[in-house]
């Protein structure tokens, strides 16, 4: 008796997740090959740009002293006259102390009305008088005498000392030194980056000076009025200058012909 093998009534298909896994693996291989090919096609960098900075300090050789007289009176004319008389006495004392080397110029002059406000009744402001202010600037190279000049001016009648600044009469050489240091800093940075890559630093392409800020003088903020102790202590400090450059170098790749 012959037995025939009949196909099963039901046949189980391969699990769907196996097909999905196979397709994902194929896609991964294709994608990896594409990424590697794209990376190989990317051009190597040809240039490098860095910013170099430097800061220089130097002792000042000039002092700028701003002081003046504030006067108050019932009328504008009276305030101006009183201010002029008092300022003449102050300037005479300062010129006597400095002699022919005195460099004095008017800084600011102002005349303002003064009002009283009725805070309780809410009425309009009431004119009470006028205030005249005259501020002059004294320049001197005798830095050790700045405190003495403040004392002389206030004893003569100056009742407003705004500020004392110590500066350099010629900052050109300090700026040149700062620029040289800024360029050296830029080159040091570029060499460090090139050393981390398979490249060498080539010829300089461009160097552009950027705004490093103005020369920063040493400044004594002063809010003095009439009360100034004798021999006012003043320290010149240092003047600070910053330089900044943007430099661009060409890169030489190893193995390049």
Same domain, 71 and 161: yes
**pLDDT tier at 93, thresholds 50, 70, 90:** very high
Domain interval for residue 154: 62-167
Residues 6+ apart with CB under 8 A from 117: 125, 126
State residue 219's pLDDT score: 60
Higher per-residue confidence, 215 vs 140 = 140
Q: Which of 130, 150, 167 represents a domain boundary (last residue)?
A: 167
We report the CATH number of the domain holding residue 158 as: 3.30.70.2970
**pLDDT tier at 224, thresholds 50, 70, 90:** very low
Residue 208 lies in a domain: yes
State residue 32's pLDDT score: 41
Strand runs labelled E in 59-198? 62-73, 103-116, 126-140, 160-167
Neighbours of 63 (CB within 10 A): 24
State residue 253's pLDDT score: 79
State residue 55's pLDDT score: 94
Same domain, 108 and 86: yes
**pLDDT per position as a tens digit, 12-54:** 444 443 443 343 343 344 444 443 434 445 456 688 999 999 9
pTM above 0.75, yes or no: no
Same domain, 210 and 150: no
Domain count within the chain: 2
């Amino acid at each position: 008796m012959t037995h025939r093998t009949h196909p099963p009534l039901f046949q189980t298909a391969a699990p769907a997740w196996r097909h999905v896994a196979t397709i994902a693996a194929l896609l991964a291989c294709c994608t990896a090959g594409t990424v590697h090919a794209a990376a190989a096609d990317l051009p190597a960098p040809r240039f490098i740009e860095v910013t170099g900075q430097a800061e220089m300090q130097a002792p000042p050789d000039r002092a700028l002293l701003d002081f003046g007289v504030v006067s108050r009176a019932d009328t504008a004319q009276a305030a101006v006259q009183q201010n002029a008389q008092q300022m003449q006495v102050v300037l005479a004392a300062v010129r006597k102390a400095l002699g022919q080397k005195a460099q004095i110029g008017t800084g600011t002059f102002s005349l303002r009305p003064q009002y009283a406000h009725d805070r309780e009744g809410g009425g309009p402001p009431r004119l009470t008088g006028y205030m005249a202010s005259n501020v002059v600037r004294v320049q001197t190279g005798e830095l050790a005498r700045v405190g003495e000049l403040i004392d002389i001016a206030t004893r003569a009648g100056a009742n407003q000392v705004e500020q004392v600044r110590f500066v350099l009469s010629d900052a050109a050489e300090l700026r040149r030194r700062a620029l040289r240091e800024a360029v050296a800093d830029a080159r040091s940075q570029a060499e460090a980056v090139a050393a981390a890559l398979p490249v060498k630093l080539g010829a300089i392409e461009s160097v552009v000076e950027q705004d490093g800020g103005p020369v920063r003088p040493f400044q004594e903020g002063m809010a003095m009025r009439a009360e100034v102790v004798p021999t006012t202590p003043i320290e010149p400090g240092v003047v600070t200058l910053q330089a900044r450059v943007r430099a661009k170098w060409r890169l030489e790749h190893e193995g390049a012909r």
